[in-house]
Amino acid sequence: MTNKNLRKYSSIVVDGVTQAPSRAMLRAVGFEDADFDKPQIGIASTWSMVTPCNMHINKLAEDVNKATDAAGGKGIIYGCITISDGISMGTEGMKYSLVSREVIADEIETVSGCMGHDAIIAIGGCDKNMPGLLMGMARLDRPSIFIYGGTIQPGPNHTNVISVFEAVGGHAAGKVSDIELKQIEDTAIPGPGSCGGMYTANTMASAIEALGMSLPNSSAQDAISQEKVDDCLQAGEAIMHLIEHDIKPSDIMTRAAFDNAIKVVIALGGSTNAVLHLLAMAHSMKVKLELEDFTTIGRQTPMLADLKPSGKYLMSELIKIGGIQPLMKTMLEAGMLDGSCMTVTGRTTAENLADVAPYPAGQDIIRPLDNPIKKDSHLVVLKGNLSPGGAVAKITGKEGLSFSGNARVFESEEECLRGVLDGTVVKGDVLVIRYEGPRGAPGMREMLSPTAAIMGAGLGNDVALITDGRFSGGSHGFVVGHVTPEAIEGGPIAIVENGDRISIDAETNELKLELSDEEIATRLAQWEKPAPRYTRGVLAKYAAMVTSASEGAVTDKHC
CB 138 within 8 A of CB 284: yes
8 Å CB contact between 365 and 317: yes
CB distance 173 to 167 below 8 Å: no
Range 167-182 burial, b when 16+ CB lie within 10 A, else e:
bbbbbbbeebeeeeee
Whether residue 472 lies in the annotated active site: yes
Distances (CA, A) of 386 to 269, 501, 503, 514: 26, 11, 10, 9
Distance CA 88, CA 94 (A): 5
Q: In this structure, which amino acid lies at residue 73?
A: G
Q: What is the C-alpha to C-alpha distance for residues 69 and 95, in angstroms, rounded to an integer?
A: 39
Contact at 8 Å (CB) between 387 and 483?
Answer: yes
To the nearest 10°, report the CA torsion of 473, 478, 482, 485: -170
Q: What is 51-78 written as a DSSP string?
A: -TTTTTHHHHHHHHHHHHHHTT-EEEEE
How far apart CA 224 and CA 135 sit, in angstroms, is 26
CA distance 361 to 180: 37
Count Cβ atoms below 10 Å from residue 543 Cβ, excluding itself. 23
β-strand pairing of 429-433 with 510-513: unpaired
Which of 95, 473, 33 is CA-nearest to residue 276?
473
Q: Is the Cα torsion angle 170, 175, 180, 182 positive or negative in sign?
A: positive
Angstrom distance (rounded) from CA 355 to CA 350: 10
What is the C-alpha to C-alpha distance for residues 169 and 166, in angstroms, rounded to an integer? 5
- Residue among 219, 472, 475, 503 flagged as catalytic: 472
8 A C-beta contact, residue 128 and residue 89: no
- Which residues have a catalytic role annotated? 472
